[in-house]
Structure 1
């Protein structure tokens, strides 16, 4: 059973209701152990204020969302590398457990998926050089194959871990059940990742039917993912980080009172 102190609120879950200060206050009010800010919420108030706010709260930062987006120009640009360097600096300022990477899809006008994946490896390698110097772990988040074209051309834990093997120390994976639950290699690849490369663990649920491929994620227990089984897999490898709740829900949870959302998360985490 997961209690509230084992939970982290990914700010995307209440992005339409709360700013960062309200997210921090909500986490404290509902007993959450951590928070995972998106960079847009940080930029609304500035990194210095955001870092002070989070530090003063005593909340752990399970991850910063997000770096990446290496591929859209069909080459690695200085602008992308500079933005990823800023993301590393922001993660360090927040004392985050990791910087989560959503790597980007196929370049605009291209159909060359292998080239996109090569660009991702190149961009991660260059970003990792700086991240290592700042002692900030980088976590590749493989996204469901439906996002391969526009959001992430790394779609399985195997693919993400192959990149980790190529690049060496300081890089691992963010395992989001929404993106990986369907994978027939899931158990083997979680075991392959092991404690050292399981840097983040995200939870929500897959609804049937799903009305929107981006903004119709479910609250835990409302869909078909065996969340408890996946949690056992990651914990069997020694993962002891927070369970980060990340729910995109334009027609349901983003329209509800945010405190109701938080109470429901706590109740469902106990059950799922």
Structure 2
């Protein structure tokens, strides 16, 4: 029987000296508002509530001129913390795989127009007709390698977002921060940049090696985004029951302290998928975000 040594565990206490989190250092991911309103209204709401940045989803940009949206964001006094999210890479045929890669290449161009520092990648998983994750992982690595030079050219980092292991079968074959970092090392062994990680509290909080992973990501300059929400107990829906910060069991203050100690000085981005919050008025959701962010 393997006994886990206490020496291998790092105990994290909630920090007492973490600097206050002001809203100008925070971003609202547009998914938090449920994709109800057109992007113009969302930009205005986010700005009027005092947030410093916005992270659009591609679905909210559909049918809009990206250059115009970029100007609207700047005119509102907002920055862009990232563009969400990628088309899944894995596919059952070579033709479909290459089409997925090209769709992500076009999204990188949109991210550059928006001035987004990163393009968040939810990479996908096992193609139809296959079992296991080996093929999916190989296709993801190849897809990223095909995009890396373009990402560097347009100045937008490919931000690999590991998802909670419960999504390994339908959303992402990358299920831990350590795996995302290993992919970054494979793609960019010399540390030239262009590929990094997006660390989402909801997906990584369970990992007993998280502190080490965050420290490694910081040393290598591989933290492109930090997303926050909370894990409710009980969780009623594996996708659409995330909590507002402070409602659940994640020690978000400790995680933020680790990430900032690792050198990340970007926006704290709220991304909440929640049937409950999506049924609330958008203004009410933004007010709750503003209050809850003070708890972390």
TM-score, normalization by structure 1: 0.96
Measured after TM superposition, the shift of residue 68 of structure 1 is: 4.2
What is the SS of the residue equivalent to 2:213? helix
Q: How does 1:1-272 map to 2 (within 5 A)?
A: 1-73=20-92, 75=94, 77-168=97-188, 169-194=193-218, 196-250=221-275, 252-272=276-296
Whole-Å Cα distance in 1 between the matches of residues 283 and 63 of structure 2? Answer: 22
Query: Which deviates more from structure 2 when the two are superposed, residues 88-97 or residues 42-51?
Result: 42-51
What is the SS of the residue equivalent to 2:62? helix
Whole-Å Cα distance in 2 between the matches of residues 258 and 17 of structure 1? Answer: 9
What is the SS of the residue equivalent to 1:77? helix
For residues 102-157 of structure 1, what are the alpha-carbon distances to aligned partners after superposition, in whole Å with 9 as ceiling and x for unaligned? 10011112113112111111101101121112121110000000111111100101
Contact 1:74 1:116 (8 Å CA) reproduced: no
Aligned-residue RMSD, C-alpha: 1.3
Query: Which deviates more from structure 2 when the two are superposed, residues 87-96 or residues 108-117?
Result: 108-117
Structure 1 unpaired stretches of 5+: none
Measured after TM superposition, the shift of residue 4 of structure 1 is: 1.1
Whole-Å Cα distance in 1 between the matches of residues 262 and 235 of structure 2? Answer: 31
Measured after TM superposition, the shift of residue 12 of structure 1 is: 0.1
Whole-Å Cα distance in 2 between the matches of residues 16 and 194 of structure 1? Answer: 32
Contact 1:215 1:248 (8 Å CA) reproduced: yes
Whole-Å Cα distance in 2 between the matches of residues 249 and 171 of structure 1? Answer: 29
What is the SS of the residue equivalent to 2:84? strand
Query: Which deviates more from structure 2 when the two are superposed, residues 118-127 or residues 14-23?
Result: 14-23
Whole-Å Cα distance in 2 between the matches of residues 47 and 73 of structure 1? Answer: 31
Whole-Å Cα distance in 2 between the matches of residues 56 and 246 of structure 1? Answer: 23
Measured after TM superposition, the shift of residue 256 of structure 1 is: 0.5
Contact 2:92 2:129 (8 Å CA) reproduced: no
Aligned residues: 271
For residues 19-49 of structure 1, what are the alpha-carbon distances to aligned partners after superposition, in whole Å with 9 as ceiling and x for unaligned? 2111111111110000000001011423232
Whole-Å Cα distance in 1 between the matches of residues 175 and 97 of structure 2? Answer: 23
For residues 200-238 of structure 1, what are the alpha-carbon distances to aligned partners after superposition, in whole Å with 9 as ceiling and x for unaligned? 000000111111111111100111101001000000011
Whole-Å Cα distance in 1 between the matches of residues 24 and 284 of structure 2? Answer: 18
Whole-Å Cα distance in 2 between the matches of residues 74 and 249 of structure 1? Answer: 34
Whole-Å Cα distance in 1 between the matches of residues 33 and 139 of structure 2? Answer: 33
